Amino acid sequence: MSDLYFDRYAYPKRFIKSESRPDTFIRVVIPVFNEPDIRPTLESLAQCNPTKRGIEVILVINHAENASETIKENSRKTVDQINEFIIQNTSDLVIHIIKAFDLPKKKAGVGLARKIGMDEAAYRFNSINQDGVILCFDADSLCEKNYLCEIENHFLKYPDCNAASIHYEHPETNEDGNLNEPIILYELHLRYYIQALKYTDYPFAYHTIGSSMAARSSVYQKQGGMNQRKAGEDFYFLHKIIPLGNFHTITSTKVIPSARISDRVPFGTGRAMQEHQNNTKDLNLTYDFECFKIIKAFMNEINIKSNISDFYSTIKSFLIENGLETELNKIQSQSKNQTHFKQRFFEWFNGFKMLKLVHYLRDNQFHEKLLISQATALLIELGYEINQNPTALELLKIYRQLDIDSGN
């Protein structure tokens, strides 16, 4: 395989000196920052059912140069924990540690940590001329026992699969056994948003969760690798890959992300849990379903001959304010037919632009409403019969099944 990516775009340093097993097909990359106990995650992976080919786990222990001494000490303790686990490990997992210590403060974060690990994984695949799978996981996540073999089977069965999102479910209860209402609401919001996008006929409606995504090494390199964002790196990364096509959802196994409170990134699950606890974010609210009805009409009306004046007034305002009117005209003039137009239009109208449109509608016309009512409204629109006054958990279970049924 070409070394062009490593000459131009990769993190310049290589960390792992040992040779790669020639049959390695999956490399699990886990960024680890200020983690109190990495062992449950390693145990979860080690307890997975045997795979046909080799598995490597690459743990990127990272902190910024300006991190507190407490965080730096935690990094050292985590390395010791992993080394102890390696000595005791009886599984076939090959485990590597990358000490990404004292990273530049302007760039240090989860994006850079993922990039370091994923670049290392890609380099090691190139060294054995293998277009293997780079699998992203998190240091506080768990998985089902069939996790590794199901992902291996999927990518072997579908050699044209460029990348995939893996089904995930947060724990529904706290350690004390009580329902964890905030995480139930948060996951319901995520699933409502994706199913609402599918309802609009938007072609790139996929979950983009960092702990449950995978990409072929060649595709990872072709698309310029992982970005260095301090948050949202997973969203931006996958929305560079999804438009390539052959993006799958693997629903035959499950990732179990943590529901813990965290302030390590500006947004995401941990931050949402913290903001809910601090009463700075109300997880009972979500996007008005009317937004998606308007977007559905837009998705169905947009074509090679569309005039911006034909669209709903708020959509038209969004296109003009974001300078997209000119871009739309350019795409129309350069498209040979309607099929070509649709392809080019959706390459341009990516997941980020769609999210911006949803937020524009929310801020300018359709303000947030109660999550339970809006999630119910979408299900009714899809033909479901919903009990009166459903709970968030009841709705979440329906939405989880919806995601499973619509996966590959």
| 186-229: pLDDT as tens digits | 999 999 999 999 999 999 999 999 999 999 999 999 999 999 99
Q: Are residues 219 and 331 in the same domain?
A: no
Please check whether residue 404 lies inside any domain of the structure: no
pLDDT at 325: 86
Whether 264 has a pLDDT exceeding 70, the answer reads: no
User: Count of alpha carbons within 13 Å of 4, Cβ hemisphere only?
Assistant: 8
Cα(358)–Cα(342) distance, integer angstroms: 20
Closest CA to 185 of 124, 259, 247: 259
Quick check: is 167 in a domain?
yes
Span 69-82, average pLDDT: 97
Render pLDDT for 326-347 as a digit per residue (tens, 0 to 9): 899 899 999 999 999 999 999 9
Same domain? For 36 and 66 the reply is yes
What is the predicted pLDDT for the residue at 269?
61
Residues above pLDDT 70, as percent of the chain: 94
Per-residue pLDDT at 217:
98
Provide the angle, in degrees to the nearest 10, between the axes of the packed helices 313-321 and 351-364: 120
**pTM (2 d.p.):** 0.93
pLDDT of residue 26: 98
Checking if the pLDDT of 65 tops 90, the result is yes
At position 301, the amino acid (one-letter code) is E
**HEC profile of 124-155:** HHHHCCCCCEEEECCCCCEECCCHHHHHHHHH
Any domain includes 218? yes
Question: How many distinct structural domains can be found in the chain?
Answer: 2
Q: Which of 16-30, 32-46, 267-281 has the lowest mean pLDDT?
A: 267-281
Q: How many CA atoms lie within 13 A of 59 on its CB side?
A: 26
Q: Provide the phi-psi class of 143: left if phi over 0, else alpha when psi is between -120 and 50, else beta.
A: beta
pLDDT of residue 274: 60
pLDDT interval class at 140 (50, 70, 90): very high
Q: Which residues contact 80 (CB under 8 A, 6 or more apart)?
A: none
Answer yes or no: is 316 within a domain: yes
Rg (CA), the chain: 22
- Mean pLDDT along residues 31-59: 97
Q: Residue 324: what pLDDT? A: 86
Domain that includes residue 214, residue range: 4-178+205-269
**Is 120 part of any domain?**
yes
Q: What is the mean pLDDT of residues 242-255?
A: 96
C-alpha closest to that of 123 among 24, 192, 247: 24
223 and 336 co-located in one domain: no
pLDDT band per the 50, 70, 90 thresholds, residue 267 = low
| Residues 339/263, Cβ–Cβ less than 8 Å | no
Q: Report the CATH number that the domain containing residue 210 is assigned in CATH.
A: 3.90.550.10
Residue 57: is its pLDDT beyond 70? Answer: yes
**From 13-17, 186-190, 212-216, 261-265, the region with the lowest mean pLDDT:** 261-265
pLDDT value of residue 1: 56
Q: What is the pLDDT of residue 271?
A: 60
> Given this model, what pLDDT does residue 202 score?
97
DSSP string for 214-277:
EEEHHHHHHTT-----SS-HHHHHHHHHGGGS-EEEEEEEEEE-------SSSSSHHHHHHHHH
Stretch 155-171: mean pLDDT, rounded? 97
Position 408 scores a pLDDT of 56
Q: Which of 244, 269, 294 is the last residue of a domain?
A: 269
Mean pLDDT calculated for residue range 34-42:
96
258 and 347 share one domain: no
If pLDDT is split at 50, 70 and 90, which confidence band does 385 have?
Answer: very high
Q: Is the pLDDT of residue 174 over 90?
A: no
**Domain annotation covers residue 215:** yes
Same domain, 91 and 210: yes
Q: Say if residues 139 and 41 touch (Cβ distance below 8 Å).
A: yes
258 vs 197: which has the higher pLDDT: 197
Residues 236 and 293 in one domain: no
Answer yes or no: do 68 and 126 share one domain.
yes
**Rounded to whole angstroms, how far apart are CA atoms 314 and 336?**
29
Are 243 and 311 within one domain?
no
- Residue 359, domain member (yes or no): yes
Mean pLDDT over 368-397 rounds to 96
Count of beta carbons in the 10 Å neighbourhood of residue 220: 26
Segment 360-372 mean pLDDT = 97
Let me know whether 295 and 216 are in one domain. Answer: no
**Residue where a domain stops, chosen among 225, 240, 269:** 269
